[in-house]
Amino acid sequence: MTPDGETGCAFCRMSQGRIVHHNELAYAIRDAYRVTPLHTLIIPRRHVPDYFCLSEVEAVACNRLLEEAKREIEKIDPRVSGFNIGINVGETAGQTVFHCHLHLIPRRKGDVKNPRGGVRHLIPRRGDYVRNKAGDVAG
């Protein structure tokens, strides 16, 4: 997709037909392994391993696509009443594709029993931050 792309990188070889939003520096696709319906990935065109390698203008371009995708998702599905935005940086954090990408995950009331704590549930038993005082180590 880009002149400086990596040959084996799926995001550098993305089919134009999968792109739902784009600008000069980034594009968006629906996640093939979605967490919820309309789960969208925002991907910089330049091959960089993670969010912290983006230039300031690339980060702004990704943010603009996040906002554009959010508005579109809300129009497509009015039941969407919240979002999680996630970025995995490094293998330890769960990154499996080492081309930066941001997850925009639409949420609907009732999609989980208790959504309180949101992304804190990545570490088992850490989502309930009222019960688990800050600084406690998950067991």
Element (H, E) at 71: helix 56-76
Burial class (CB in 10 A: 0-12, 13-18, 19+), 102: buried
The answer to whether 117 and 129 are in contact (CB under 8 A) is: yes
C-alpha closest to that of 36 among 4, 2, 80 = 80
Does pLDDT of 80 surpass 90?
yes
C-alpha closest to that of 107 among 50, 10, 37 = 37
Does pLDDT of 3 surpass 60?
no
Does pLDDT of 4 surpass 50?
yes
Active site residues: 101
- On average, the pLDDT of the chain sits at 89
At 87-130, the pLDDT tens digits run 999 999 999 999 999 999 999 999 988 888 888 877 776 666 66
Domain 16-108 annotated CATH 3.30.428.10: yes
Q: Residue 85 gets which letter from DSSP? A: E
Q: What is the pLDDT of residue 52?
A: 98
Residue spans of the domains in the chain: they are 16-108, 115-139
